[in-house]
Amino acid sequence: MNDPVFWLGLSVGLVAVGILAVILTLLPAVIQLGRAAQSVERFFDTLLRELPPTLEALRLTSLEVSEIADSLDEGVKGAGQVVKQVNRSIEGARTQAQGAQVNIRSFWAGVRAAWQTLSGEVPPTTGAIHNPRLRPSDPSNRAFPVASSTIPLGDVRPFADRSTPEGSQAAAQSSRPDIANP
């Protein structure tokens, strides 16, 4: 047992058995690694074939979506403009209706005044102005006296003798009862 060749041979044999054991354990792992490499290679080939058309389709879809979003934005802005125009039209119609209401009231007030003047009727609120929108029980709804002053109109007869200045003065003096004739 003291022979060095024996120990050298034994140690080489044990190293060979260890290397053989490692190779036998690594052999299935290397085989699986080769299969995985082949699978990855097929995946990348498929990816190279399928990815460019898919990316192109995605690019086209994103362009279409952005076009639709732009047209939708324009549509919303157009709808906003239409709403603003309708609001302006409604305001204009409201203003015109209020103006027409004032004109109709003024017209009927004129017709009523003309009728009362022609028929000789006295208006019911002579000498006072009432606010018809206030409640009668409200103390602030009081009649306010209106100063009635007569303005001399001169000769209002349409066929008065106006051929001479003296005739027009005489006609003017005779039509005004508050001025005594000389």
pLDDT at site 117: 87
Backbone angles phi, psi at 51, to 5 degrees: -70, -45
134: CB partners within 8 A, 6+ apart: 140, 141
- Nearest-angstrom CA–CA distance, 79 and 117: 56
Mean pLDDT of 54-77: 92
Residue 33 has pLDDT above 70, yes or no: yes
Question: Helices then strands (H, E): number in the chain?
Answer: 2, 2
The mean pLDDT of 89-102, rounded to a whole number, is: 91
Measured torsion, CA atoms of residues 172, 176, 178, 180, in degrees rounded to the nearest 10: 50
171, pLDDT greater than 90? no
Beta strands in the chain (DSSP E): 128-129, 144-145
Say if residues 158 and 173 touch (Cβ distance below 8 Å).
no
Task: Give dist(CA 156, CA 59) in Å, integer.
Answer: 92
Q: Between 8 and 124, whose confidence is greater?
A: 8
- Residue 125 to residue 73: CA distance in whole angstroms: 62
pLDDT at position 116: 87
Cα dist. 53→56, 58, 60, 65 in Å? 5, 9, 10, 18
- Rounded Cα–Cα distance for residues 41 and 30 (Å): 16
- Separation between Cα atoms, residue 35 and residue 42, nearest integer Å: 11
Burial pattern 111-124, b for ≥16 Cβ within 10 A else e, equals eeeeeeeeeeeeee
Q: In this structure, which amino acid lies at residue 54?
A: T
pLDDT value of position 3? 87
What is the token pair recorded at 136?
Answer: 């009668």
pLDDT at 182: 45
